[in-house]
């Protein structure tokens, strides 16, 4: 089967895909660490509840902001640099960050909390 676009065949992933893929990986870890922080810090939990009315709403907003802002910054600084290796390593990076984030949350609730 032939690739459907020039980007797929020779250039790897677009700079936007790479930038926001990396941003997604960072946001996954940030999300997990934020769960731990708010559960261990009553002051943080209170601030998050006060900010939006519910701590999960603030949690979601902060995670989305990390994802969007970091993605835009990386996209701007990437200068279109991506390679075929990005198409192989980016999915692994994303899956790994999701697994690490899940392990952080699971480990926290099983062993620390």
* Rounded CA separation 15/9 (Å): 15
**What's the confidence (pLDDT) of residue 58?**
97
- Give the tokens for residue 1: 């089967």
Block means of pLDDT (10 residues each) for the chain, length 113 residues?
A: 47 84 97 96 96 96 97 84 70 96 97 82
CB 52 within 8 A of CB 5: no
CB 63 within 8 A of CB 34: yes
**What's the confidence (pLDDT) of residue 9?**
41
Where exactly are the structural domains of the chain? 14-112
* Rounded CA separation 24/102 (Å): 14
Q: 103, 107, 32, 109: which is closest to 66 by C-alpha? A: 32
Helices 42-52 and 55-78 cross at an angle (nearest 10°) of: 90
The model's pTM is 0.81
* Rounded CA separation 32/36 (Å): 7
- Give the tokens for residue 84: 């075929």
Q: Chain-centre distance of CA 98, in angstroms?
A: 8
């Amino acid at each position: 089967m032939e690739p459907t676009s020039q980007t797929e065949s020779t250039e790897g992933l677009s700079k936007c895909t790479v930038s926001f893929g990396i941003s997604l990986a960072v946001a996954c870890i940030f999300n997990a660490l934020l769960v731990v922080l708010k559960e261990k810090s009553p002051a943080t939990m209170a601030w998050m509840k006060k900010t939006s009315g519910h701590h999960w709403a603030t949690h979601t907003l902060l995670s989305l902001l990390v994802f969007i802002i970091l993605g835009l910054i990386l996209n701007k600084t990437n200068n279109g640099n991506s390679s075929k290796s990005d198409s192989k390593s980016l999915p692994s990076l994303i899956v790994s960050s999701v697994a690490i984030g899940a392990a952080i949350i699971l480990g926290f609730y099983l062993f620390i909390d």
